[in-house]
Amino acid sequence: DLNIIDLFDRENGIVKASIYSDPDVYKLEMERIFSRSWLFLGHEGQIPKFGDFLVTTMAEDSVIVSRQGDGTITAILNQCRHRGNRLCLADMGNSKSFRCTYHGWVYNSAGGLVGMPHETDGYHNKLNKAEWGAIRVPRVEIHKGLIFGNWDAEAPALSAALGDVAWYLDAFLDGAEGGIELSGPHRHHVKCNWKWQAEQHGTDFYHAAISHNSALTALNPPGAPPTSFEYTQTPDETGYQFGMPELGHGAAGWFPARNDGLVRFAPAPAPAYLGGPAREEMRARLGDIRTDEMGSLVMTVFPNLSLNRAARYLRVWQPRGPNRTEVVHYIILDKKMPEEVKDAIVRGTSFSFNASGLFEQDDSENVALCHRGASEGHISRQTPLNVQMGLGFGGPHPDFPGQINHVYAEEGARAFYSHWQDLLMGGAK
């Protein structure tokens, strides 16, 4: 009975509050978005050797991601085909097979059913094991070390789904020889719908000066360079926002911004390293624009992967019902960094953005309160909400791909909901 066209008015930038809590919307999202989109599974560096595996979720479905003997990566549903028990209870490890703990069916790491107790006297050798393997994620592709999976065997290639957002994403991945590695994950839950965090990370710099005022003021030591907060107080504050409505991606960044960003709050030697040799290497590899003008880049790869460059995190917003999100948080490190720099960055990022981080608490409270405001109450659920900032003022830019607007805009949010709506209506993938 959903009238999907009424949920988001893209011409006027109006979203209906019920999209954040309606169980029917959530059910359709599982079917038409999370079963058809490329979803982040992990990083290649987490499973370098044959038999290495990690367990993650694709929305609500638990999957095992494994390195095979030929170097390829497979992903299978973490579900026994006998009675549905989990095949693996660990988060990661090394195993070339998974044995169900209930009755003992055994699967290889590519999902093939290879044996079970009482195959002869119980099943009389009649069970066709080839038909009862674990469900395989049909598409797994890699972008510069990031592993993505897609339940839709007919989905366009990952490169097509990323499109122009790859140019922004690569600012996180290509800044140092040898690439990145991920520290973590850390996990915590927030009482809000998954879209709040995913959409806001692709669009909202508007909140920072207000929401993070206390944290930024408290953290800025006397005589230190200006914080981002102070940039927002100057008349020449600027920056860009990038939206890609045909694919749902969004990104934003303030200018100028230093690449050491929030990690300046990390203990030594992180700030010196990030502002010194790492920055010059980044300039040589990525060019001036992505070095000097995108240090504060925050972005969302549709539907639920977000990255923050200044805080050096990558995270996935995993839906856990319409009213709860599991935040899966990793810290991005350059693989070749000295160990003491890695350690300092982990401390600095955890101090600012993590379950107990100063800024995280501001943001988590915002989205939880927005969720309550939009979902508790019959009248509240019918309210039109405003996504109009900068509407009609976007356009192309000679240096950046996508639809470009001022940093104080909701170009990314409108891109997010446009693609979200297209998918719900069964349209463009």
Helix orientation angle between 358-375 and 194-201, rounded to the nearest 10 degrees: 120
77 scored as a contact of ligand FES (CB under 6 A): no
Give the whole-angstrom CA distance, residue 264 versus residue 228: 12
Which of 5, 27, 93, 102 touches ligand FES (CB under 6 A)? 102
**164 and 302 in contact (C-beta within 8 Å)?**
no
In the complex with ligand FES, which residue's Cβ is closer, 100 or 162? 100
Choice between 84 and 221, CB closer to ligand FES = 84
End-to-end CA distance of the chain: 22
Taking CB under 6 A as the rule, does residue 82 contact ligand FES? yes
Distance CA 147, CA 323 (A): 27
- Cis check: omega of the bond before 322, within 30 degrees of 0: no
335 binds ligand FES (CB under 6 A): no
Closest CA to 97 of 127, 64, 57: 64
Among 59, 76, 80, 286, binds ligand FES (CB under 6 A): 80
- Return the number of other C-beta atoms located less than 10 Å from residue 288's C-beta: 9
User: Is 123 among the residues that bind ligand FES (CB under 6 A)?
Assistant: no
Residue with tokens 């998974």: 98
Instruction: Identify which range of 100-108, 202-210, 340-348, 412-420 contacts ligand FES by CB under 6 A.
Output: 100-108
Question: Using the rule CB under 6 A, is 361 a contact of ligand FES?
Answer: no
- Of 330, 377, 9, 379, the closest CA to residue 173 belongs to 330
CA distance 333 to 7: 39
Alpha-carbon dihedral sign for residues 51, 54, 56, 62 = positive
Output the smallest distance, CB 125 to ligand FES, in A.
Answer: 17
Separation CA 239–CA 46 (nearest Å): 34
Q: Per CB under 6 A, which region of 44-52, 78-86, 227-235, 286-294 contacts ligand FES?
A: 78-86
Question: Minimal CA–CA distance to 372: which of 193, 189, 188, 187?
Answer: 193
Instruction: Please report, for residues 47, 192, 217, 362, the alpha-carbon distance to residue 366 in angstroms, rounded to integers and kept in the order given.
Output: 35, 10, 19, 6
Q: Is 363 a catalytic residue?
A: yes
Q: Is 107 in the site for ligand FES (CB under 6 A)?
A: no
Q: For residues 103 and 285, which CB has a smaller minimum distance to ligand FES in the complex? A: 103
Q: From the list 27, 83, 118, 189, which residue makes contact with ligand FES (rule: CB under 6 A)?
A: 83
Q: Tell me if residue 419 is catalytic.
A: no
The stretch among 23-31, 35-43, 82-90, 405-413 that binds ligand FES (CB under 6 A) is: 82-90
Q: Which stretch binds ligand FES (CB under 6 A): 21-29, 62-70, 102-110, 408-416?
A: 102-110
Total interface residues for ligand FES by CB under 6 A: 9
* Residue carrying structure tokens 């830019």: 397
Helix (H) / strand (E) element for 366: namely helix 358-375
Q: Binding to ligand FES by residue 313, rule CB under 6 A?
A: no
The answer to the question of residue 129 lying near ligand FES (CB under 6 A) is: no
CB closer to ligand FES, 93 vs 115? 115
Q: Per CB under 6 A, does 10 bind ligand FES? A: no
Q: Catalytic residue at 43?
A: no
List residues binding ligand FES (CB under 6 A): 80, 82-83, 85, 100, 102-105
Residues with a catalytic annotation lie at 103, 204, 207, 212, 363
